[in-house]
Chain A
Amino acid sequence: MSSFQLSALGALIRNSAVYRSIIRHGVANTNRNRSLVVFENLFLHVHPVKVREKTLKFSHTYWLGGITLVASFVLIVTGIFLMFYYHPSVPQAYRDMKELMFVVDNGVFYRNMHRWAAHLMVFGALLHMLRVFYHRAYKPPRQFNWVVGVILLLVTLLLSYTGYLLPWDQLAFWGVSVGTNMAKEAPLVGKPLRFLMLGGNIVSENALLRFYVLHCVVLPTVLLLFLSVHIWRIRKDGGVQGPPEKDASDEVEP
C-alpha cells in the first residue's frame, strides 16, 4: 500500500472514473499490477516484465547507452527552446546568440546546457561503443544492432558538426571551413558533395541555412528512426548484454 493511496485525496483521485480510464490497473503492490505498469504503457513496454537480476548491476553496462539517450533527450528539449529565438541568417544568427546571452530569460542557461549535452552525447556514444566491444556484446544475435550503433555514432557526429556552425561566430565559421575542406579531398564525389552541403563553394549564408535544416529536421529524424530500431533490437536480441558470460557448456546444473 503506498502512502499516496492511503491519503484521502489520493484515494479520491485513484478511484475517479477519469484516472481509472487512463491507468487501468490498481496500485502496483502485486506482481500482476507491476507487470501491467510495464506492458500497458507505451513508453515502458519495450521492457520485459521481469529482468535478470544481474543486469541491474552498475558494471553491467555502466549505463553508457542510457546516459547517451538522456543527453539526446536534453538536446531535443533545449534545442526546441533555442529554436524559438534563432534565425538561420547572416548576421542575425550571431545577434540571436547575443540576445540569448543578455536578453532572453535563462537563454544563456539553455544554450550552455545544449552545448554541454552535445559534448556528453558524442563522448557517451564513443564510450558506449567501447564498452560494447570489450564486453563482446556485438556477438550473434546482436551483429545488426552493432551496425545500427555505428550509423547512430555517425549521425551523432553529423548532428554535433552541423550544430557547430549555427552560432555563426569565428569558432563556428572556421571550424566548419577546416572540416569541409577535408571533405573536398575525396576522389570524384568530394567537390560536388561539398557544393551540395554548403550550397556554394565557401561557407556562406546558404551553408548556414542548409546546416540549420539538417541540424533541426533531417538528422534528428534519422536519429530517432535508428534509435527506435536500436532500442527495439536490444529487447528482441535478449536484453542488455553485460560482461562476457561463460559458454553454456561450461555451466553446471544447480
Chain B
Amino acid sequence: MSQIPQPFVPVESNDPMVVPKRVAMVRPDTRPTIRRREEKFVMTFPHLIIREVIMFQVVVIGLAVIALLFNAPLEGLANPLETPNPSKAPWYFLGLQELLHYFPPVVAGVVIPGLVVVALVVIPYARINLVAGPLWSGDRAKLRNGIAAVTVALTVLFAAFQCWAIVVPTLMVAAAMFVARGEGKGQPFRRFLTQVTLPEWIMTWFVLVATVLTLIGTFFRGPGWSLVWPWNMYPPA
C-alpha cells in the first residue's frame, strides 16, 4: 500500500507560517570565525607560509649579525670568596632586586612576584576584563573617588618605604587617568586616552613601574646598591 509521493511544488510566500524563516542564534562571545560579514580568505600556502619563512630568516640572520658583532660576557672564574660589588642577578630579575632595596626580602622576593603571577593567570577569568568599556563611561563621581582613594593609598604606602621609583609612575598614571575625563576634542592623543579601559590602565601602570624599577636596577645602581650614574657603576679602585 505505498502512496504515490506528492510532486514537489516550491511555494512563494511572505507568511512565516507557510515558509518558515531560519534563524541562527550567535552568542556574543563566540569565536570570530562566526561572523555575518563576508571575510576575505587567502590560501595559507603560499601567502602565510612565505611570510613565516621570511620572518624565520630575518630573525636568524639578525641574531647571527648580532652574534658576530657582540661577544657574550665572560668574567673570571667563579670565586665564592670574592663578592663583586654590586653583584646583580640577570636583567629580568633586577626589578625585583631593586624592590629588595626598599622592602623586606619576604615581600620583594615572594609576596610581590607571587601576586604578579596570580594576577596574570586570572586576567582572562576576571569579568571586568571581558566587559570593560572606556574608563569614564560609568558612574563618574564614584569612579573619581575610587581612583583618588587608590592613588592616595598607593602613594602613602610606597612613600612610607621611600620608594619614589613606584610613587612617581603611580602619580603619572593617575594624572593621565584624570586627563582622560574630558572629550579630547581636536587632540588625537587625548581622544585616544578617553578610550582606554580600566584593565588597560592597571596593566600600563604595572608595566611602567616594572620598567622603571628594572632600568634603575640595571643602569643606576652601583657599589652597596647606591644610586650612581651608569658610567660610575664600577668605580676604579
Interface residues of A (CB under 8 A from B): 28, 31, 34-35, 37-38, 44, 47-56, 63, 66-67, 70-71, 74, 90-91, 94, 97-98, 101, 108-117, 119-120, 122, 126, 129-130, 133-134, 136, 138-143, 146-147, 150, 153-154, 157, 160-161, 164, 167-179, 181-187, 190, 202-203, 237-239, 241, 245, 247-249, 251-254
Contact = CB atoms under 8 A, between A and B. Distances in A.
Given A120-B63, A161-B90, 18 more contacts: A28-B45, A31-B43, A35-B43, A50-B42, A51-B44, A56-B51, A74-B63, A116-B63, A116-B67, A120-B59, A139-B129, A139-B130, A170-B76, A170-B78, A173-B79, A174-B78, A178-B93, A202-B80
Q: What secondary structure prevails in chain A residues at the interface with B?
A: helix
20 contacts: A38-B44, A52-B40, A56-B42, A109-B68, A113-B64, A126-B92, A139-B130, A150-B120, A153-B120, A161-B90, A169-B78, A170-B77, A173-B78, A175-B89, A176-B89, A178-B97, A183-B109, A184-B105, A239-B33, A248-B26
A151 to B, nearest CB: 9
Contacts of A54: 39-40
Interface of B: 26, 28-49, 51-52, 55-56, 59-60, 63-64, 66-68, 70-80, 82-84, 87-93, 96-97, 100, 105-106, 108-110, 117, 120-121, 123-125, 129-130, 200, 203, 207
A120 B46 CA distance: 28
B106 A112 contact: no
Nearest 6 pairs between A and B by C-beta?
A173-B78, A182-B109, A143-B124, A115-B72, A238-B31, A112-B67
A146 B46 contact: no
Contact of A71 (B59, B105, B130): B59
B31 A141 contact: yes
Nearest to A39: B44
A143 B68 CA distance: 41
A48 B44 contact: yes
Contact of A140 (B29, B66, B120): B29
Contacts of B43: 31, 34-35, 49-50
A136 B97 CA distance: 31
Nearest to A203: B80
Given A56-B51, A140-B29, A177 B87 contact: yes
A117 B72 CA distance: 11
Contacts of B29: 139-141
Contacts of A139: 29, 124, 129-130
Contacts of A116: 63, 66-67, 70, 72
